Chain A
C-alpha cells in the first residue's frame, strides 16, 4: 500500500492570496459560495430517503372555533396514503409544550396540533402523509372536520374588553403577561419638564422577514435505539430541543438535529418545534422517513409573525431646549394565538431601554395579549426594533412639535463617546460607540447641506421632499437571565457557544461550530480567525457546513440568532484554536526532545523552533503522529489535537425586583438616513437617496458586514412601504402569499451609500460586536422622512410603522384624522 501524500489530500485549490498581516479584517471571499453558485448547496427539501412520506397539514379555515368532530377515515383509505395524525393523538402521546410565561400565560396548553379548538386561520389540525406531495394534498381534502365558530379577536386593543371571547380558557382571559418597568424617577422628570408632549397612539405593524426558503424537515426514526434524526432548517436547535424533549418524554440526546444550508432565517425559523414534533410522531407511527416542506401560504398564515405593538398614552418630559428627561407609555403587544417564544418580547426590548439617548426616567406598563392571529416569534431586530422605532419616533415628534432640528435634538441627547461604557437606567452597559460622529458620517454621505436646495428642486417638480434619520442599536449576545424578569422560576441565565478545532491524520484543520448559519458566512469568518492563530491560509481550514447535534460541538444556547456569532461563535473558535495551537507546540516539543513551548512558533503550516526554523514539523506530521504513529511518545503527554472550547460571556443574574442588570454584551449601532420624494397627487413616493452607516466594532470580514447592512436595509424598506400581515375582522389573513405580501424587488431598491466606523467592544476578546439586525434604523428613517416631507403640507404625524402609498395619501388629504394625535402642554 502506498501511503497517501499531502497532494492527495490537499484542500480545494488556493483561491485567496495571503494578506500582509492578519486574515481578520480582510474581505475574504466566502467559502460557502462555490457550492451555492453551482446549485450544490444542501437545503432541507433537497434531502430524500427511500420510501419517505410527504406530510400535508389540514389547516383551520376559522380564526376561532370549537372542533366538534374530525374524521380521517376517507383520507386514510385513499391509495398512496400512509397515515394521519390528529390533535387527539398528539394530546395522548405528548405533554403540552413548556411555557416561558409566568401567570396567567403559564396556563396555556399548547400542543403540536390543535386539540378541541382552533385559534387562528391556518392553524394545523391534522397531518396527512402520502407517497407524493400531491397525493397528501388530495387526501387532506377528504379529512372531514366540523366546527362551531366563536367570535374572533383581531385587535389587541379589544382583547380585554368586557365580554370579549376568551382564546385560552385555561388562562382565564386574554391577558398573557404583564409587567411594570419603572426606572429613575419619572414623576420628578415630569415635574422638572418645561413641556409635556402627549402622543395618543403609536402602532408598530405586523410583518416578518419572509425567508425565501420556507420551513421544512426530513425526519427518520431509529426504532432500535429510540432516536430521531431531524434534518431541518431550524435556526436554534437548542431551543427546539428543550421544547420537544420534555413534550415527547425523551432525553435530548434522542433528538439529533442536522442542518446544512438554510435559505434565510431572520429569527423566523426558531419556533418550528410543533411541526417537528408532528414529524417525529409520524416517523415513529408509520415506520418510515417523513418529509415536510411548508407551502409559502402556510408560512405566511402560521409562522413567526413579528411582534405587533401598540404604544398608548405616551407622554414625554422635555425641557424647552430639547433636553429629554423621560417618558412613560403603555406598551401592548399582540402575541397572536400562541406563546411559542413569547412573552420574551416583553423583556427583550429592555436591552435598549433608552435607545441612543441619555434620558434617565422611564416607565413602561407592558402587557401582552392573545389574539386570533398567527403566533408571534422572533423576527430580525426582535422586540428591540419595535421599541427603538418608538424611541426614534418620539424624538422626531418632539422635534416637530417644539420646532427643533432633528439633527440637533439627537446630538443634544445622544449618549456621548466619552461616557462609554455607559450604564442605562435599567443597568445595561453600552460597550462603545460615538453616535454623534456616526451621524456626521451619515450626514456627509447624504450631502445633508444640500437638502434645502433639493427640497426646492423637488417642489419645482411638484414633489414633496423629506429627509429622516434613524439611529438605532443592535444589541447582541444575550444574557438569558433576562427571561427571569418574565418568570422568576425559569432556570436560564448567561449564554454559551461551542467550537471544536482538530488537526486530523493528514494534517487537515477541521472546525465544527455550534451555530446554524443561514447566509452569514460563518465558514469563512471562522476560518479567518483560525488561520491567524495557526499561521496558515484560510484555504487550509475546513469549517464543516451547518450543524449536527452529534458533532458534540453545541451547548444549550447554540444557534444563529440575536446578533451574536461575531462574539460568541468566533470567541469559541478562537478559544478552541488557541488550545490546539498549544497542543501542537506541546507535541512538537516532545518530538524535538524536550523543547519548551515558548521556544516554538507556528509558521507556514508547521511548528518550528524559533531559533532554528529549519527544525520544523509540518501539521501533517503532527496529525499523523498523534493519530496513527504514537509509539514512544511520553506517557504524560496529554495531547489529542482535537480541542473543544465553550465560550461563556461574563454575566450576572439581574436584580429581579428592580429589573436592573446587564442583559447583552455588545451594542452595534446603525445610522440610517432616508430621503423621500412624495407625489402629493397620489401619495406615491420614492426613496431617492439612502445612507446606512454601521458600527459593529472590529469587523472580521467587512464585505460580509456590509452585506448584512444592505440586507437589513432592504427589509426595512419593504416593511415600511409594502409588507404587512393584514387580517380582516373575521381573522382571515389578506396577505398570504407574495402576490399580496409585496416584498421589495430589484426595481424597488433606491440608490444606497454605505459607510462604516469601528468602535471595538472592550468586552469581547476580538473587539467584535454581533450585528445583522440593524434594519430597525431604516424603518424609522423612512417614517421620519415621510413626516418631514409632509411638513407644511398638512403636518400629519406619522404614527404607524407601515406607510404604504395610500396611507401617505390619506395623511396628505386628511392630516387631522389620518395622522397621529399629538398635543403639547406647558408643564
Chain B
C-alpha cells in the first residue's frame, strides 16, 4: 500500500436522536447500531441475545419502524429518530404496557423485556386492538426463555384495553 495515498476513513460522524436527546458521535463504519446505543451512549436498556437477528432483545423503533438494532449499522441511523425502552415511562410513571407487563407477570429475568416492550409498542400503534393471534404474530420476532409468552400475550391485551 502506498503510504502517501490518503487514508480511507473507516469511521464517520453521525447524528441520531434517541428518546428526544440528540447525540453526535464519531463511529466506526462497521459498528452495529445496538453496540453504538449500548457501548457508546451507555443506553443499556436494549439487550443482545444472539448474533443472528433471531432473538429481538435489541428491538428499537427507528423513524417509526420496529428494527432489530443488531441488523443495522450505526452509520445507517445517521439522522434518524430512535425510540428505546428508556423512553417509554413518563418520569417515574410507567406507561400502560409497562404497567401491564408488571401486573400480568409478563417478565421473569427481564432480559427480553425491553425488546418485547418495543415490539408491543410498535404493534399497538399499528393495531390498537389486536386479537391474540395478531399479538402472537406481532411478537414472533422476540424470544423469551422464561415465561412461555402466555403472560406476555395477556399483558399486551390488558394494555390495549381488552
In the bound assembly, the distance between CA atoms of A710 and B110 in angstroms comes to 16
Residues in A neighbouring B69, C-beta threshold 8 A: none
Closest chain A CB from B112 CB (angstroms): 5
In the bound assembly, the distance between CA atoms of A266 and B47 in angstroms comes to 19
Count residues of chain A with CB under 8 A from any CB of chain B. Answer: 61
Known contacts: A710-B148, A743-B145, A746-B142. The answer to whether A213 contacts B49 by CB under 8 A is: yes
Contact A33 B52 (CB under 8 A): no
Known contacts: A134-B28, A747-B136, A747-B137. The answer to whether A211 contacts B145 by CB under 8 A is: yes
Closest chain A CB from B89 CB (angstroms): 5
Residues in B neighbouring A263, C-beta threshold 8 A: 47, 49, 109-111
A contact face: mostly helix, strand, loop, or mixed: loop
User: Taking the complex as formed, is B140 at the interface, i.e. its CB lies under 8 A from any CB of chain A?
Assistant: yes
Closest chain B CB from A638 CB (angstroms): 41
Residues in A neighbouring B88, C-beta threshold 8 A: 37-38
Known contacts: A263-B47, A749-B150. The answer to whether A519 contacts B54 by CB under 8 A is: no
Known contacts: A37-B94, A40-B45, A134-B30. The answer to whether A752 contacts B109 by CB under 8 A is: no
Interface code A520-535, partner B: CB below 8 Å = 1, 0 otherwise?
Answer: 1100000000000000
Contact B110 A296 (CB under 8 A): no
Closest chain A CB from B30 CB (angstroms): 6
Contact B102 A39 (CB under 8 A): no
Residues in B neighbouring A46, C-beta threshold 8 A: 38, 44
Contact A37 B50 (CB under 8 A): no
User: Taking the complex as formed, is A48 at the interface, i.e. its CB lies under 8 A from any CB of chain B?
Assistant: yes
Contact B98 A746 (CB under 8 A): no
Residues in A neighbouring B48, C-beta threshold 8 A: 45, 293
User: Taking the complex as formed, is B55 at the interface, i.e. its CB lies under 8 A from any CB of chain A?
Assistant: yes
Q: Which residue of B lies closest to A211 (CB)?
A: B145
User: Taking the complex as formed, is B103 at the interface, i.e. its CB lies under 8 A from any CB of chain A?
Assistant: yes
Residues in A neighbouring B101, C-beta threshold 8 A: 33, 37
Interface code B91-128, partner A: CB below 8 Å = 1, 0 otherwise?
Answer: 00010001001110101111111100100000000000
| Stretch from A198-206, A388-396, A600-608, A711-719 at the B interface | A711-719
Known contacts: A39-B45, A521-B108. The answer to whether A29 contacts B103 by CB under 8 A is: yes
User: Taking the complex as formed, is A453 at the interface, i.e. its CB lies under 8 A from any CB of chain B?
Assistant: no
Known contacts: A210-B145, A707-B147. The answer to whether A296 contacts B50 by CB under 8 A is: yes
Known contacts: A33-B102, A738-B52, A746-B149. The answer to whether A212 contacts B44 by CB under 8 A is: no
Q: Which residue of A lies closest to B147 (CB)?
A: A711
User: Taking the complex as formed, is A295 at the interface, i.e. its CB lies under 8 A from any CB of chain B?
Assistant: yes
Known contacts: A212-B112, A262-B109, A264-B111. The answer to whether A38 contacts B94 by CB under 8 A is: yes
Residues in A neighbouring B114, C-beta threshold 8 A: 39
In the bound assembly, the distance between CA atoms of A715 and B48 in angstroms comes to 20
Residues in B neighbouring A147, C-beta threshold 8 A: none
Contact A747 B109 (CB under 8 A): no
Residues in B neighbouring A745, C-beta threshold 8 A: 140-141, 143, 149
User: Taking the complex as formed, is A261 at the interface, i.e. its CB lies under 8 A from any CB of chain B?
Assistant: yes
Known contacts: A36-B110, A737-B54. The answer to whether A714 contacts B98 by CB under 8 A is: no
Residues in A neighbouring B111, C-beta threshold 8 A: 41, 43, 211-213, 261, 263-264
Residues in B neighbouring A45, C-beta threshold 8 A: 38, 44, 47-48
With contacts A265-B109, A715-B148 known, what are 9 further pairs, Cβ within 8 A? A34-B102, A37-B89, A37-B117, A39-B45, A39-B84, A41-B110, A263-B49, A745-B143, A746-B153
24 contacts between A and B (CB under 8 A): A27-B105, A34-B102, A36-B110, A36-B113, A37-B88, A37-B117, A38-B89, A39-B43, A39-B84, A43-B111, A45-B48, A48-B42, A134-B31, A212-B47, A212-B145, A261-B110, A265-B109, A703-B105, A714-B148, A715-B148, A739-B52, A746-B140, A746-B153, A749-B150
